[in-house]
Structure 1
């Protein structure tokens, strides 16, 4: 689960890292607040778009299995606990 969260954080930060790289390439300071201020909205929206697109693609292309969680149930008067198959 931690890997998935870190992966989404990395995907969200891609536009910010790309912009910082562009600032370095253009010989501007990536630490200057004036360079970042006009771009915050675009960078956040681009990051959100990348994260949502990755989640949609994962949902569409993920491997489906018939196995999964079997909820608890009564069988012959006894409670059979839930389990994973």
Structure 2
């Protein structure tokens, strides 16, 4: 679950990272005004769009076998039995 949350946070932050790199490489990020007057709405919108698309792709390519149920790891008669699909 943590992997999914961290991946979605990364997907959301990608447009902000791209904008920061663009400001840095073009040397327009010398003042804070470029961030205050920047395209915040479009950065948030594109971050949400990328997150939703990433979530859909992650759900589509899930590695869980079809028609099987996951059994979590357990101790049975003092022996550790790892998680498995049945």
Q: TM-score, normalised by structure 2?
A: 0.69
| Alpha-carbon separation, structure 2, partners of 1:18 and 1:50 | 13
Divergent runs of 4+, >3 A: none
Q: TM-score, normalised by structure 1?
A: 0.69
Structure 1 gap ranges (5+): 71-83
| Alpha-carbon separation, structure 2, partners of 1:44 and 1:3 | 22
Structure 2 gap ranges (5+): 72-84
Higher-helix-fraction structure: 1
SS of 1:35's partner is: helix
Of stretches 11-20 and 54-63 in structure 1, the one that deviates more from structure 2 is 54-63
